[in-house]
Amino acid sequence: MRLTLRGAELGNYRGTTRLYDVANDPSELVDLSASMPDIVDAMLARLAQLRRGVFENAETGADDCPSDTAGMPCACWAGVHRWGGFMGPYQSGAF
């Protein structure tokens, strides 16, 4: 059994969190959360613990892309046109 939790990654917890056995149900058709609430609670507690250690940068800068990026978000445009397909800096300015 290999379990995965869905819904929690978006900040939705109890009520919308779903649990799947992806080893035996790769299409994620059978939600096991109601029958395994202890595992859901343990996984949510671990997720909350891990989130406390995640750095979130509140600093902002100005997007450093041309005005016409063919509908691509600036970060994607910079990855394709400046960084050889890799994500890299796409903002400039004083931080």
CA angle, 14 as apex, 39 and 37 as ends, to 5°?
25
Burial group, residue 81, by CB count within 10 angstroms (0-12, 13-18, 19+): middle
Cβ neighbours of residue 17 under 8 Å, at least 6 residues apart? 5, 6, 7, 8, 33, 40, 44
pLDDT one-digit tens code per residue, 8-35: 554 545 557 888 998 999 998 999 989 9
Give the CA angle between residues 59, 54, 22 to the nearest 5°: 130
pTM summary value: 0.50
Q: Whats the size of the chain, residue-wise?
A: 95
Tens of pLDDT, residues 28-85: 899 998 999 999 889 888 888 887 887 766 677 777 788 888 888 888 888 888 888 8
